[in-house]
Amino acid sequence: MINGTVLIIDDNKSVIDSLEMMLGYEVQKVLSIRDPGRVYDVLRRNAVDIVLLDMNFRAGISSGNEGLFWLKEIMKHDRDISVIMITAYGDIELAVKAIREGAFDFVLKPWDNNKLIATINAAWKLRTTKLKATLLEDDNRALKKEINRASGTLITGPSPSMKSVMGMVKKVSVTDANVLICGENGTGKELIAREIHNLSLRNIELIVPVDLGAIPETLFESEMFGHTKGAFTDAREDRPGKIEMANRGTLFLDEIGNLSLSSQSKLLNALQSRCITRVGSNRPIQVDLRLISATNCDLASMVSKGLFREDLLYRINTILIKIPPLRERIGDLPDLVKHFLTSYSEKYHKELPKITQQAIDKLSAYSWPGNIRELQHTIEKTVILSDSPVLKPSDFEFSNVARIGETGSNISLSEMEMRMITDSMHKNNNNLSAVAAQLGITRQTLYNKIKKYDL
């Protein structure tokens, strides 16, 4: 038995009686009306799955236009309802037209009971498939919103510099303009990118973040454009790339200054054409996305040195947003401290501590080379280690204060390496290319160590 509701709309009482008798054994609930004008009220009060709709109602009228009109009205209410048209033999052409308008199928008078039941069963399967698809789409939409929201909270504070940044964020969010976000490591570039996405018209879709500094050049095309099964040794199945995954949403390219010139060229071609081709395939795939990029490098300087393509810079840099380092927006620090204290107290199931003004003063006097990320880790460590209901200056320690020449004899090799990287980043204003050159390592090696030490 069909676990749903069928509505019969026919002005002929004998037709309704016959259908009700037959369907009473096949369908959980059968409704019927002779006046099609009552369909609005019936659909409003009942979850109708299938409609058996006559093509003509008024005596002497056989144009079928009434049936087409009521078909459109039913579809306006719910496009997933399966509508089966009931028609005379001479109205087959009209019935075909009704199918073009969205009807599931048609049956001829007089009908064959077995064929009608088979048609109704097929209509029920289509109805349940559509309902499942709608529920899945709703779930996916809700999941995408949750994913977009769950990736960190943007806390700005009262500083004029951040108010200016947020003013620009609100202006550009409602457009599809490409945005380049510049700022030192740890300033919250990805959070700004997510805020732009969440305020945009694309927020029902995903923002897809791509850490370009972590992608080896040999895997760039596969990661960004996707690949087909068998395209290379480990390609065991078809897989979309990051650009394709961002279709209808936002693509966030972090650390874009770390791309090689070869990869820059491939990326530029994809951004200009808004079209990609998976590795191992010849089929082009059109994409519609919003592009946000981020870097801690001076791209203009890299262009002058031949390290970054000027045409790519123009492509990604329609709107430039510069995020000031924490030392230049120290007025925001109290709000940030309060937020992180609350967040980590909840995370570690500890009572929210108070913090003295002297402690705030100590935090405000520090230069924060690691910016908000360093502040966040400092607060987390303090919440974990302190059992005091009031946090004093002595409760806070800064892991990056020491410089290379100040290290003691008991320092470990990893600690020395971490401090060397931190010191070089500080001296080179977080320009990773310059840091790598000073330390004598590749940018990829440097990036891996930054990830390792969470700098």
pLDDT at 430 (0 to 100)? 76
Nearest residue to 252 (alpha-carbon basis) of 205, 313, 210? 210
pLDDT of 415 > 80? The answer is no
Residues of each domain in the chain carrying CATH 3.40.50.300:
151-322
User: How many secondary structure helices (H) and strands (E) does the chain include?
Assistant: 18, 16
Residues of each domain in the chain carrying CATH 1.10.8.60:
326-395
Residues of each domain in the chain carrying CATH 1.10.10.60:
405-453
**CATH of the domain spanning 405-453, picked from 3.10.20.90, 3.40.190.10, 1.10.10.60, 3.20.20.220:** 1.10.10.60
Q: Alpha-carbon distance 405 to 416, whole Å? A: 10
Give the model's confidence band at 91: pLDDT under 50 very low, under 70 low, under 90 confident, else very high: low
Give the model's confidence band at 151: pLDDT under 50 very low, under 70 low, under 90 confident, else very high: low
Q: What's the pTM value of the predicted model, to 2 decimals? A: 0.60
Give the model's confidence band at 160: pLDDT under 50 very low, under 70 low, under 90 confident, else very high: very high
pLDDT at 387 (0 to 100)? 87
**CATH of the domain spanning 2-133, picked from 3.40.50.2300, 3.40.640.10, 1.20.810.10, 3.10.20.90:** 3.40.50.2300
Handedness of CA 155, 158, 162, 167 (dihedral sign): positive
pLDDT at 406 (0 to 100)? 40
Q: Residue 333: CB partners within 8 Å, gap ≥ 6?
A: 157, 326, 360, 363, 364, 375
Interhelix angle 432-439/413-427, nearest 10 degrees: 130
**For the chain, what percent of residues have pLDDT higher than 90?**
49
Give the model's confidence band at 144: pLDDT under 50 very low, under 70 low, under 90 confident, else very high: low
pLDDT at 153 (0 to 100)? 64
Give the model's confidence band at 353: pLDDT under 50 very low, under 70 low, under 90 confident, else very high: very high
Nearest residue to 319 (alpha-carbon basis) of 117, 170, 142, 150? 170
CA distances from 192 to 261, 294, 331, 399 (A): 27, 10, 19, 26
Indicate the range of 75-79, 230-234, 336-340 predicted with least confidence.
Answer: 230-234
Q: Alpha-carbon distance 235 to 237, whole Å? A: 6
Q: How many CB atoms lie within 10 A of CB 270?
A: 18
Q: What is the mean pLDDT of residues 118-138?
A: 83
Looking at domain 151-322, its CATH superfamily turns out to be P-loop containing nucleotide triphosphate hydrolases (3.40.50.300)
Residues of each domain in the chain carrying CATH 3.40.50.2300:
2-133
Q: What is the mean pLDDT of residues 398-406?
A: 48
Give the model's confidence band at 452: pLDDT under 50 very low, under 70 low, under 90 confident, else very high: confident
Indicate the average pLDDT of the chain.
86
CA 356 to chain CA mean position, Å: 40
pLDDT at 225 (0 to 100)? 94
Q: What letter does residue 279 receive in the DSSP assignment?
A: B
Give the model's confidence band at 128: pLDDT under 50 very low, under 70 low, under 90 confident, else very high: confident
pLDDT at 405 (0 to 100)? 40
Q: What letter does residue 405 receive in the DSSP assignment?
A: G
Structure tokens at 425: 């980043």
- CATH code of the domain occupying 326-395: 1.10.8.60
pLDDT of 150 > 60? The answer is no
pLDDT at 402 (0 to 100)? 41
3-state SS assignment for residue 30: strand
